[in-house]
Amino acid sequence: MRSKPPGAALPPVRSEAPGDAPAFPVWKAFAVQFSRETRPRAEIFSGRVEHLSSGRRARFGSVQELVTALEKLLDELGEQPT
């Protein structure tokens, strides 16, 4: 997994047309907190992910577990109206 170097330029933000469904709906917002043990260069990832609207959370011990936790949380949310 590669990351941008500090200070790297971010792509321009595209605004949405009025009336369009938001590209990033609030009900799909998550916070990811990594533990002290996380070492990206050693491919060690652990921490927790929390769904901001519902407060549901899950712990993970690898990148795959993080993805699995996100899939499970999104599946539990189902499709919400826009």
In a domain, 5, yes or no: no
pLDDT digits (tens, 9 = 90+) for 7-54: 666 676 666 566 677 788 888 899 999 999 999 999 999 999 999 999
In a domain, 34, yes or no: yes
- Total structural domains within the chain: 1
Q: How confident is the model at residue 4 (pLDDT cuts 50, 70, 90)?
A: low
In a domain, 9, yes or no: no
Helix (H, G, I), strand (E, B) or coil at 20: coil
pTM of the model as a whole? 0.67
Range of 43's domain? 28-77
In a domain, 59, yes or no: yes
Number of Cα atoms under 13 Å in the Cβ half of residue 71: 6
In a domain, 6, yes or no: no
Q: Give the closest residue to 40 by CA, choosing from 81, 2, 79.
A: 2
In a domain, 64, yes or no: yes
Q: Give the closest residue to 58 by CA, choosing from 22, 68, 26, 2.
A: 68
In a domain, 44, yes or no: yes
Q: Give the closest residue to 32 by CA, choosing from 11, 7, 60.
A: 60
